[in-house]
Structure 1
């Protein structure tokens, strides 16, 4: 027996399908949702960071099927703000591209704004931050950011992660992550992943928005790896899966075949099958665009997480007691064993290694943390 969806979940899925349809085959809602249902749909769209796309669907609906005036106005203002943010993001992406081009460094915008331009309404995707890859590796990219005055000793506190450098938020509230690696790693086969990504990203092409966008083949592999790693942390909302739908709808058969060949080498097919099932159930992914057979059992795990905790798991409540939280986190980690044992075990070993290595420091500071 499969998972049971609420009526309002199904209505949001239907609205998003209608918004993203370019064939003219979908007609939207057969009957108008009640005012109470519309309010729930709005809140669901807010939790999933898909209000802009959902509003694109509302604009296509007949007036007698749309939400009540007050909610419609509120939603319209949200969509206008999202469109304005997208314009600022594209401008910032183009500005950074010009700066790095001027310094003679290859670069490309990853994920968010590169994905946004694939949507039927290019200003409807709710933006997060800008991810931009710059060639050269960690040391060279760090030195370049200092040289260009994009990073200073006063602003580099906690700026570095394993694969990118955070820049300070700009005057428009835009945050930027400068990647010295195209993506974070995956267990045991990270070298092969990085080799493929580093070779493929150099084929990025300039797009009308003023920045370089990687190939669809690159994005299919890189973003599946990105999704896979987030399964085990906070989880993902519908926005990230919707991005992947857009990639598939803009892919060629050659793109898909090449991406699958890489994913098989990297043991990513469990994740791939789960994502294909979710995309089919939520967005009506066409059979001919699937990378592999949909995996219902694993796909339901992803959909349950998305609906329960929203975008990047930000609606997940955490117990106040540190030991209760730690115990629940460990149970959550173990729950991924049937989904992908290699990743689950690797993540847990990595956690214990990091925890044990910090014990002497915590004893010295007389602090207990898990």
Structure 2
């Protein structure tokens, strides 16, 4: 059975905290590392770490596995190049339609992987990309009309986002708002915050792409992870994205401080403390004592000053992450066969009931929000 700490050590090597593993894994363990990397959507990042290891520590990797790993890593590098291009094309198209936009998470965060790494083969190019999430400014009805008038096919439209067919080779999810809360009072505060900060996000450019500013991402990406805990499940790739955002923010103490106030006002302090522990456990490690590398984690350390790592809550969160994997696709506790909307809703309620004591504000309001959302989609004709 694979020890999670050796998988964590590979990630620590990849981001520069470690220079080598604590021991040399045998062939079966390398297969286990690859399996866990696939589960967490971190195959490319782990391959980047593998390349940095001393040769004597990689001697037991089966040739077949190494070639498969290499092939996947090359695919991710190519896909990142394609997605960067598609993001620019997408924003240009939306602009021509008179719509302002901002690339959320995904490729928007991928750009942050590069700035702290100056090597030719940057870790950023090994990030396992998914689809493109774009936040489009405007009333949902207006945005839908404009897109459909320009022959953009929309599917699975709901109050938050819709699948949009812009490209044949790239899936695009159009967001009418970045995210939401089940709790209506908190959701109102979040919507107000989004409205107040919208113009900054729609005008901040990085690497030729309009992306959110760091202060916004510190709040938004935490909420994104929080949402996935209750919906599909969390993968370590999402946590690593947050690590990179905090690393980038390490020179901007005031940015973190502003975001902390917002996070607390949204009632996410308990979850932030749990994630604080997970980030340190996975990406820093308890046995890392080299102070020369502490600068790599100034962002996490600053974050933990405001949200003290909670081991009890953190272990619950880490268990969910390791058990379910990316989007909860590997969770053996969940029936992944296709289900109807009502069956799916009941299953979701049962799954989330275990979080009632931890995050009661969201869990209590969850069934009411889902019922309202079903009615909203029914009235709008989106079901």
Q: What's the TM-score once normalised by structure 1's chain length? A: 0.85
Partner of 2:14: 19
Q: Compared with structure 1, are the counterparts of its residues 281 and 106 closer, same or farther at alpha carbon in structure 2 (3 Å cutoff)?
A: same
Q: Partners of 2:130 and 2:360 in 1: how far apart? A: 31
Q: Compared with structure 1, are the counterparts of its residues 169 and 55 closer, same or farther at alpha carbon in structure 2 (3 Å cutoff)?
A: farther
**Helix, strand or coil at the partner of 1:185:** coil
Question: Of residues 61, 68, 74 in structure 2, which corresponds to 1:74?
Answer: 68
Is 2:330 aligned against 1:299? no
Q: Which residues of 2 match residues 1-370 of structure 1 at below 5 A?
A: 7-21=2-16, 26-66=18-58, 67-119=61-113, 120=117, 121-149=123-151, 151=152, 155-156=153-154, 158-168=155-165, 170-172=167-169, 174-187=170-183, 188-204=185-201, 205-208=204-207, 210-251=208-249, 252-284=252-284, 286-290=300-304, 291-317=306-332, 318-319=334-335, 330-351=349-370
Deviation of the 1:14 alpha carbon: 0.8
Native 8 Å contact 2:90 2:166 kept in 1: no
Higher RCO by CA contacts (8 Å cutoff, separation 6 or greater): 2
**Helix, strand or coil at the partner of 1:160:** coil
Q: Partners of 1:128 and 1:75 in 2: how far apart? A: 18
Native 8 Å contact 1:137 1:181 kept in 2: no
Q: Compared with structure 1, are the counterparts of its residues 234 and 321 closer, same or farther at alpha carbon in structure 2 (3 Å cutoff)?
A: closer
Q: Compared with structure 1, are the counterparts of its residues 76 and 270 closer, same or farther at alpha carbon in structure 2 (3 Å cutoff)?
A: same
Alignment length (residue pairs): 342
Q: Partners of 2:43 and 2:81 in 1: how far apart? A: 17
Deviation of the 1:139 alpha carbon: 1.4
- Please give the root-mean-square deviation of Cα atoms over the aligned residues, in Å: 2.5
Partner of 2:288: none
List gaps (5 residues or longer) in structure 2: 118-122, 285-296, 376-383
Partner of 2:291: none
Q: Partners of 1:305 and 1:169 in 2: how far apart? A: 34
Deviation of the 1:314 alpha carbon: 0.5
Q: Compared with structure 1, are the counterparts of its residues 105 and 293 closer, same or farther at alpha carbon in structure 2 (3 Å cutoff)?
A: same
Partner of 2:378: none
Deviation of the 1:88 alpha carbon: 0.9
Q: Partners of 1:337 and 1:206 in 2: how far apart? A: 40
Deviation of the 1:181 alpha carbon: 1.1
List gaps (5 residues or longer) in structure 1: 1-5, 358-370
Q: What's the TM-score once normalised by structure 2's chain length? A: 0.82
Native 8 Å contact 1:159 1:167 kept in 2: no
Q: Partners of 1:223 and 1:212 in 2: how far apart? A: 16
Cα deviation code 1:19-71 (max 9, x no counterpart):
112xxx52121432111100000000001100011111011112221223221
